Amino acid sequence: MKTIYKIISILLGIFLFVSCEKEIVFKGEIADPMVVVNSYITPDSIISAHISESRFFLNDTTTFKNISNADVSVFVNGVFKEKMGLVEEGNYKGTYKPVIGETIKLIVKVPDKKDVSSEAIIEPKPDILSLDTTNIWTGKSYNIQNVGYLNGSNYEYKLDTISTVTGHIINYKLKFNDNGNQKNYYRLVVNTKERFITVNKFTNDTITEIRDNYTFNFTDIVSGNNSTNDPLSAIGGSSSDNIYNVFSDDLFNGKTYSLTFSTNEDIYNYSQGYDYGLSTPVDKTVYVYLQSITRDYYLYLLSRPVAVKGSDFFSEPVQIHNNIVGGIGILGSYTSGNVYKVELK
């Protein structure tokens, strides 16, 4: 009898669960697609832009429709300069390279759409004074994993040392002057080119491969990664959301500042049979850039990862910063200072 009651209870629970599901029909007004403009301009590079249409948030498609019939005009300091031409799907390019101090404006006209526009000033180069490095050896450790292997016809597991790791960190200190006459925004970019040399086990051929790596540790207080003064808190983010490594001069306006960050240079010595094509690079070059960026570009790079990642169920959604009048998107400007190269063996 108890068994019958249990079965009835389970079936009733399933019925109630299914009966609670209800498809809600959207009865609101579906907005017409808007013009989306994305352009990032910098001195000594030709101005370009990508133009597309927005899509309704309930649309099943994940792609955006490129616009190939737009009329794109470029204005410099309020004076018409040229029209940009279509080079491929949604991508437009002109011939003009902007100059520091100029205000660039784009006006985009698309048939049967509202005209859109935006402008951005070309920021001056950041005044970089020096880049200093410090090597720190953090000791030796062992990478031990549960490894599978064939024992006769059986597949078994055992703990084994995959590699020996010699801990190595390089700390960087980038010193620069901040202009106290205006509000400034910056972006730190660190790009590493690593050279690997491997030997093909079957042909004994030597293979050289160059890999790009953009991973570094940005723990300076201005990044918000180790401080309660989180610059992302104003838009509902957290320290881990500053994936584009942008910051403002709130803490050092008009002063000389030493920006700190680091790269992990651990050396891996793999045990025989466990390299799997993984190895420590023979050498690498670390390229360090500090960019001056516009306020709109700064807010866009802050808000974009927070909005894309999504937030807590009970919190308000975060809107990606937009400076396209009459449309959606971003016209951002950045100017890089001197590029520093650090050679590592």
Could you report the per-residue pLDDT of 122-131, keeping only the tens digit for each? 999 999 999 9
Tokens of 260: 């700190």
Query: At residue 344, what are phi and psi to the nearest 5 degrees?
Result: -120, 135
At 234 the pLDDT is: 36
Give the span between the Cα atoms of 179 and 257, in whole angstroms: 11
Strands 71-76 and 256-264: what pairing?
Answer: unpaired
Query: At residue 25, what are phi and psi to the nearest 5 degrees?
Result: -85, 125
- What is 13-68 written as a DSSP string? HHHHHHHH--PPPP-S--PPP-EEEEEEE-TTS--EEEEEE---TT-S--S--B--
pLDDT, one tens digit per residue, over 145-175 is: 887 777 777 778 888 888 889 999 999 999 9
The residues near 122 (Cβ < 8 Å, ≥ 6 apart) are: 41, 42, 43, 98, 99, 100, 101, 102, 103, 104, 333, 335
At 224 the pLDDT is: 82
Assigned fold of 35-121: Immunoglobulin-like (2.60.40)
Give the span between the Cα atoms of 270 and 90, in whole angstroms: 47
Give the span between the Cα atoms of 292 and 224, in whole angstroms: 18
Helices (H), 199-330: 295-309
- What's the alpha-carbon Rg for the chain, to the nearest Å? 27
Q: Where are the domains of the chain?
A: 35-121, 127-321
Picking from 173, 164, 163, the residue whose alpha carbon sits closest to that of residue 135 is: 173
The reported pTM is 0.79
What is the rounded (10 degree) CA torsion for 77, 81, 87, 92? 30
Residue ranges in the chain modelled with pLDDT below 70:
1-31, 56-63, 226-240, 275-279, 307-318
DSSP state of 299: H
Picking from 80, 159, 152, 65, the residue whose alpha carbon sits closest to that of residue 113 is: 65
> In which residue are the tokens 């450790």 written?
141
Give the span between the Cα atoms of 144 and 126, in whole angstroms: 45
Give the span between the Cα atoms of 186 and 301, in whole angstroms: 11
